[in-house]
A and B are shown apart, each in its own frame.
Chain A
Amino acid sequence: MNQKNIIVIGNGMVGYKFCERLSNKDTKQQFKIITFCEERRPAYDRVRLSAYFEGKTAEDLSMASIDWYKERNIDLYLEDKIISIDRVNKTVTSIKGKTLSFDKIVMATGSSPFVPPVPGIDKAGVFVYRTIEDLEEIIAYAKKCKTCVVIGGGLLGLEAAKAAQELGLKTEVVEFAPRLMPRQVDDAGGEMLKRLIETQGMTVNLNKNTKNIVGDASVTAMEFNDDSVINTDMIIISAGIRPRDDLARASGITVGTRGGVLVNSSLKTSDDNIYAIGECVVYGDMIYGLVAPGFIMADAVVEQLTGNSAATFTGADMSTKLKLMGTDVASFGDIEPQDKSCQDLVLNNPYTGVYKKLLISADGNTLLGGVLVGDASEYGSLLQIYQNKMQLPADPMSLILPRNDDAESGIGIGDLPDTAHICSCENVTKGDVLDAIKNQDCDSVSAVKSYTKAGTGCGGCVPMLTDLYQYKMAEDGIEVSNALCEHFDLSREEMYQVVRATGINTFADLIAQHGKGTGCEICKPTAGSIFASVFNEPILNHASLQDSNDAFLANIQQDGTYSVIPGIPGGEITPDMLMVIAQVGKDFDLYTKITGGQRIDLLGARLDQLPAIWKILINAGFKSGHAYGKSLRTVKSCVGSTWCRYGVQDSTSLAIELEIRYRGLRSPHKIKGAVSGCTRECAEAQCKDFGVIATEKGWNLYVCGNGGIKPRHADLLASDIDKDTVIKYIDRFLMYYIKTADRLQRTANWMMKLPGGLDHLKAVVIDDSLAINSELEAQMQHVVDTYECEWTNTLNDPEKLKRFKHFINSDDQDETVQFTREREQIRPLQHSGKALK
């Protein structure tokens, strides 16, 4: 086959996007794509680089795996780069000596951090912030540092500052300009942003020009033009970018007067066969240092190569919305008035930390631009109004005023034209989304996302995508309901609130006053769980509400027998207690197995055997392990500093204390915890609902991790806190989860759907932003104070024990339960009916 060689120089986000788009579009396989990547890894998501500090791995950030390139027959050269282009003979040569011929070249060489020429800038301890390798070096060096200064108060600088703070460094930001993020916000917005950032313990220095970097081999201080000095152990430079045009220059391709590969609206360089896209490009005197315009450029070149010669790039919108240290910042269009006739509307509320400005044409009809700091929830709709030049409402202030739930906002998503861009990263319009719902059977937001790819880039458009989906559903008369089931219009959260507010404590009252019918397998266990969370009575007081396992305080197995799991807090157990379990296993001929939660499972117990088994266990001092419940399961531990030569804290004692504190706590789904005695993390705390890891200074608290179906790395909620604070935060976190989660929703899933995510959770749990912490703590204390072993309670209640018989009218056993033996233990005999299925 006579394919044309397309050489993509640079495999960053834009280079990757070009490969993806061209390989999608090139159905006739006219092109052979060859791409060079100077880094160790293929393209990754540089926009979310700081997520690397929050525990995301390089794989998490990766745009596509190496296999992806193979599947598409794209030749990917890693750790290699093109160093010369022979435009006459149409070949390129790489630093590793590879020479390839080309038909077309796409330069996507990106940019490099601008390092100001300050004396001493080459000392050890001065870093840039651009690649995963830079981050790894920063993390390694930070271990011996206490303080850090970030040069640059722009978008990336603030990201870097946040990262430094997460590494435990006392961090200061130094900005040359008189305000933060000078490109994205105006003076007043910058002032608000500075205040919001400073409340998080970071110092911001404006109007500061670095004169000298002090230190012998490594940095110790910085001197400024105003003769001030800041002592610091390390410096991260993020003072802007410079397009990487060295290859273009060396190849005789025209570059801009201030750098950057010069292109025309076809994205062609001065050589017709060489295109350039992304941050290395200068077009119309502009460098586009955002990813969305780079993607649009990639698209335009793909269109041209595949036959649409009319496709051009004529500049791109530099509107942006981001979250910096928990603070929304967004801007679009003009951020300052361009002439006197235009009017500005400002909302500046220092009490809530919100600043919003809209620039409006003199006639009041058109939105020209705006700045949002502290709350950018209206960004999506404002951007649409701006981009589509939509008619403004009579009072445009209504667009940015805090919205009452019952007040309609000025312009709804229904008013947008079909051409309106919903996702600028992936270039998806409203019409594309509606088409996906209507013609492609996309019946959920995630289906729309996977079909259209909208929302898969920066993710900023997901709220709008969700709105659009719900709007379309409502328009089609399809109700998206969060009602529990046919018996209750309430969601689980609403049912919880009803129970808390009214004190209703029977299902009969609850369904009579707030539902209809007699209930079902959805609402009854939900109500039973809520009653238990709120009032903490033994669950068999509401036996008819309990589902499979809870109904008999044991885990039902596939053959209808049960498993017995005694509680072993922290996994610590004496030989004597082990012998009790062993004896029960022998006497009742149960299958025994060690669980993943550091306990022992005894399987194959018949319903009628459960009370006798538990009587022995409880007399020996065991308590229910709640292995059957949507409740706390275990708090796993390592041996910690007591035994381990690496341990820095006593993890076993804390695990035992936490397990005893929360045992019996009923929740929307099961809860697992763990405590590790050092950073080696042997207890695997970062995949638990709550996980505690010892540090030299105290404990790090992680939340919302999960193993299971969809593993999720836990989020760091707080660092270096003492034990009392650990308990206080877990109390609040768990009760907030219990209060707001959906039924059968693990904390990991809850977090992913929690509006505001981790920042919101931190605000609630740490800063008490909802002013509910005293209530949450009191509720938890009630549960702790009223703890009762469910099995002890049952054994003391003849009424409850009545149900632990297979036949109500006979003492016979269920003869259909039969076992065979395997590896010297029992196992269920497969029923013939099951074998057939």
Chain B
Amino acid sequence: MNTEWINVGAVVNFAKDLGCCVKVNGRQIAVFNLSENNQWYAVQNLCPHDKRMVLSRGIIGDKEGEPKVTCPLHKNSFSLKNGKHVSEGDVDDITTYPIKVKDGDVFLQVVV
């Protein structure tokens, strides 16, 4: 399985403590730039509960120290670290993607 690091734009394009959606090889990926320890996270943009492309528009926070995003539609929360569904109810986990910052640009690793 081949993977590739894809440049998704300059760091300055990504607002702090907010989500953004990037398009990578036709795929929608939500990117989060957290000011806490300057951490970056990437997860699928699709909320598995109602199958809508909205997670990048969710509010971010933490559950017992673990960073999470909360879907704007029905408030399902997912760990940004490992994609696990961390709120109440029976909802699938989500996919996470490796992410790194190099020379002022943001890169995502995806299967090609």
Q: How far is the CA of A607 from the CA of B8 in the complex (A)?
A: 20
Q: How far is the CA of A816 from the CA of B20 in the complex (A)?
A: 17
**A558 engages B73 (CB within 8 Å):** yes
Which residue in B36, B51, B54, B61 is a CB contact (below 8 Å) of A833?
B51
With contacts A520-B70, A556-B72, A834-B50 taken as known, whether A543 is within 8 angstroms of B59 at the C-beta atoms is: no
Which residue in B20, B31, B61, B64 is a CB contact (below 8 Å) of A524?
B61
Is B94 an interface position by the 8 A CB rule?
no
Within 8 A of A (CB), among B9-34: 9, 13-18, 20-23, 28, 31, 34
Q: How far is the CA of A816 from the CA of B21 in the complex (A)?
A: 14
Which residue in B9, B65, B77 is a CB contact (below 8 Å) of A808?
B9
Interface bits A503-538 vs B (CB < 8 Å: 1, else 0): 000001000000001111101110000000000000
Q: Which residues of B contact A833 (CB under 8 A)?
A: 50-51
User: Residue among A543, A546, A548, A817 with the most chain B CB within 10 A?
Assistant: A548
Q: Which residues of A contact B57 (CB under 8 A)?
A: 548, 551-552, 556, 560, 607
Which residue in B15, B51, B53, B72 is a CB contact (below 8 Å) of A814?
B53
With contacts A518-B34, A521-B61 taken as known, whether A560 is within 8 angstroms of B54 at the C-beta atoms is: yes
**B60 engages A560 (CB within 8 Å):** no
With contacts A520-B68, A560-B52 taken as known, whether A544 is within 8 angstroms of B18 at the C-beta atoms is: yes
Which residue in B13, B61, B73, B77 is a CB contact (below 8 Å) of A518?
B61
Is A803 an interface position by the 8 A CB rule?
yes
Q: Which residues of B contact A810 (CB under 8 A)?
A: 22-23
**A521 engages B59 (CB within 8 Å):** yes
Within 8 A of B (CB), among A780-808: 802-803, 806-808
Q: Which residues of A contact B62 (CB under 8 A)?
A: 487, 517-520
**A519 engages B61 (CB within 8 Å):** yes
Q: Which residue of B lies closest to A486 (CB)?
A: B64
Q: How far is the CA of A560 from the CA of B23 in the complex (A)?
A: 17
Interface bits A640-676 vs B (CB < 8 Å: 1, else 0): 0000000000000000000000000000000000000
Q: Which residue of A lies closest to B52 (CB)?
A: A560
Is A759 an interface position by the 8 A CB rule?
no
Q: Which residues of B contact A559 (CB under 8 A)?
A: 52
**A809 engages B53 (CB within 8 Å):** no
With contacts A486-B63, A524-B59 taken as known, whether A518 is within 8 angstroms of B36 at the C-beta atoms is: yes
**A547 engages B16 (CB within 8 Å):** no
**A543 engages B73 (CB within 8 Å):** no
Is A406 an interface position by the 8 A CB rule?
no
With contacts A520-B70, A521-B59, A807-B21 taken as known, whether A544 is within 8 angstroms of B52 at the C-beta atoms is: no
Interface bits B32-44 vs A (CB < 8 Å: 1, else 0): 0011100000000
**B20 engages A808 (CB within 8 Å):** yes
Q: Which residue of A lies closest to B22 (CB)?
A: A809
Is A812 an interface position by the 8 A CB rule?
yes
Is A72 an interface position by the 8 A CB rule?
no
Nearest CB on B from A511, distance (A) = 10
Nearest CB on A from B27, distance (A) = 11
Q: How far is the CA of A103 from the CA of B23 in the complex (A)?
A: 84
**B51 engages A831 (CB within 8 Å):** yes
Q: Which residue of A lies closest to B36 (CB)?
A: A518
Q: How far is the CA of A721 from the CA of B9 in the complex (A)?
A: 61
Q: Which residues of A contact B21 (CB under 8 A)?
A: 806-808
Q: Which residue of B lies closest to A800 (CB)?
A: B15
**B8 engages A802 (CB within 8 Å):** no
Q: Which residues of B contact A558 (CB under 8 A)?
A: 50, 52, 73
Nearest CB on A from B92, distance (A) = 10
Q: How far is the CA of A552 from the CA of B58 in the complex (A)?
A: 11
Which residue in A524, A548, A808 is a CB contact (below 8 Å) of B13?
A808
Q: Which residues of A contact B13 (CB under 8 A)?
A: 802, 808-809
Q: How far is the CA of A809 from the CA of B31 in the complex (A)?
A: 11
Which residue in A547, A607, A803 is a CB contact (below 8 Å) of B15?
A803
Q: How far is the CA of A508 from the CA of B34 in the complex (A)?
A: 12
Q: Which residues of B contact A834 (CB under 8 A)?
A: 50-51
Q: Which residues of A contact B16 (CB under 8 A)?
A: 544
**B59 engages A807 (CB within 8 Å):** no
Q: Which residues of A contact B70 (CB under 8 A)?
A: 520-521
Within 8 A of B (CB), among A554-573: 556, 558-560
**A544 engages B17 (CB within 8 Å):** yes
User: Residue among A803, A809, A832 with the most chain B CB within 10 A?
Assistant: A809
Nearest CB on A from B59, distance (A) = 5
Q: How far is the CA of A810 from the CA of B27 in the complex (A)?
A: 12
**B77 engages A521 (CB within 8 Å):** yes
**B59 engages A551 (CB within 8 Å):** yes
Interface bits A427-455 vs B (CB < 8 Å: 1, else 0): 00000000000000000000000000000
Nearest CB on A from B70, distance (A) = 4
User: Residue among A524, A549, A808, A810 with the most chain B CB within 10 A?
Assistant: A808
Q: List 26 A-B contacts (CB under 8 A).
A: A487-B62, A508-B35, A517-B61, A518-B60, A520-B61, A520-B62, A521-B59, A521-B77, A544-B15, A544-B17, A545-B59, A548-B57, A556-B54, A559-B52, A560-B52, A560-B53, A560-B54, A802-B13, A803-B18, A807-B21, A808-B9, A809-B9, A810-B23, A816-B28, A833-B51, A837-B50
By a beta-carbon cutoff of 8 Å, the part of chain B in contact with chain A is 8-9, 13-18, 20-23, 28, 31, 34-36, 50-54, 57-65, 67-68, 70, 72-73, 75, 77
With A517-B65, A520-B59, A809-B23 given, can you name 11 additional A-B contacts, CB distance below 8 Å?
A486-B64, A518-B67, A520-B61, A520-B63, A524-B59, A548-B57, A548-B59, A548-B72, A558-B52, A802-B15, A833-B51
Considering the complex of A and B, which 10 residue pairs feature the smallest CB-CB distances, nearest first?
A833-B51, A520-B61, A548-B72, A544-B17, A521-B70, A808-B20, A560-B52, A810-B23, A807-B23, A518-B62
